[in-house]
Amino acid sequence: MRHLKLTPPLLIITMGYPGSGKTFFSRQFAEQYGLPRISEDMLRFELFEKPLFSSDESDIIKRIFQYTLEEFLKSQQTIICDGLFLSKLERLELIKIANKQGYRTLTVWLQTDIQTSSLRASKRDRRNPDDRFSFNMDQSTFSSFKNKLQRPDEKEQSIVISGKHAFKSQSLSVLRKITGMYAEQIDVNKPVIESPKRPAVKPRANQLIQ
C-alpha cells in the first residue's frame, strides 16, 4: 500500500448526484493510499432503517459527520469525505472546519449524466461493495437532490472527473491535480506518494556480501 505524504495535509471532498460514482472513487482511493474515509451513506445506513431523506435526517447526519471529521482532522493525514455535498454552503462548512486545523481542501466533482445517475440510484445492489450502505432512491427524491447542485467557483479548489471512467483514470487525474497544488513544496528527493519500506534482509551465515 502506498501513502500520500502531504504538508499541509489535505481534505478531499466528493460531490455529485446520487449514483454518480462518488463511493466507487472514494472507496478505492482510500484503500489504495491507506486513507481514512467518512461516508455519508454509511452513517445513514447505521442511523435509519428506512430513511426518508428528509431535512431532519440530513441535519442529524450532518452533525455526526462534522463531529467525526473534527476528530479525524487531529490525525493530520489526508482524509476523504464521501458524500453528496451538492450545495456550496455544505462544502464551505467542511472547508472552514478543515482550514482551522491547517488543512488544504480539494473538491472532487464526480460528473455523471442525470439518466445514468438516476438509474444507478434507483437500483442498488448490496452485493456491490459500493452499494452496500446505500438505499434505493425514487425519482422524486433523486430530483430533490439534483436541483441542489451548485458548481464550485474559482475560490474553491476543485477538479471534475467522470463518474463513468475506470478508477485508474480517475485516480491519475486527481493525483495530477494534487501534485499541481503542492508543486512549490514538493521535494524532488521525497516523492508525494511513498511506497512502503521493505524490511532489510539479513545475510545468512557464511553468505558472501557483494
Q: pLDDT truncated to tens, each residue of the chain (210 aa)?
A: 577 889 999 999 999 999 999 999 999 999 999 999 999 999 999 999 999 999 999 999 999 999 999 999 999 999 999 999 999 999 999 999 999 999 999 999 999 999 999 999 999 998 999 999 999 999 999 999 999 999 999 889 999 999 999 999 999 999 999 999 998 765 544 556 665 555 555 555 544 433
| pLDDT per residue as tens digits for the range 83-139 | 999 999 999 999 999 999 999 999 999 999 999 999 999 999 989 999 999 999 999
C-alpha Rg value of the chain to the nearest Å: 19
Domain covering 3-194 assigned CATH 3.40.50.300 in the classification: yes
d(CA 10, CA 5): 9
Give the pLDDT score at 3: 74
Quote the pTM value.
0.87
DSSP assignment, residue 133? T
d(CA 118, CA 137): 8
Domain ranges of the chain: 3-194
Which letter, b or e, does each residue of 53-66 get, where b requires 16 or more Cβ atoms within 10 Å of its Cβ?
beeeebeebbebbe
d(CA 52, CA 200): 55
Adjacency order of strands within the sheet including 37-39: 37-39, 79-82, 10-15, 104-111, 158-162
